[in-house]
Amino acid sequence: MSVGANYRAAVRGRSRAEFVAKMGIIEEECDEALHWIEVLCALELVAKDPTRDLQTEGDEILSITISSIKTARKIAK
């Protein structure tokens, strides 16, 4: 939920710097969510198979976010 809410805030940002800052929050939140999925699987509190799609989607969102941050920083220079 945080990733989506922060993305909405990022695209409504008043400046490129604000956009980059919000995207940084998205990167952190997405990475944290992936971490907790890994922890739950490692502790065998959830099965790995049902979480594979979530992990894949999280990795994709994280990659897109990082790429967007890099692009926004290049444009800002």
The 10s digit of each residue's pLDDT in 16-56 is 999 999 999 999 999 999 999 999 999 999 999 999 999 99
9: confidence class by pLDDT, cuts 50, 70, 90: very high
- CA–CA distance from 48 to each of 24, 40, 51, 74, 76 (Å)? 28, 9, 5, 38, 41
**Distance separating alpha carbons of residues 66 and 47, to the nearest angstrom:** 28
On whether the pTM is more than 0.85, the answer is yes
All structural domains of the chain, each given as residue ranges with its CATH number in brackets, are 2-76 (1.20.1440.60)
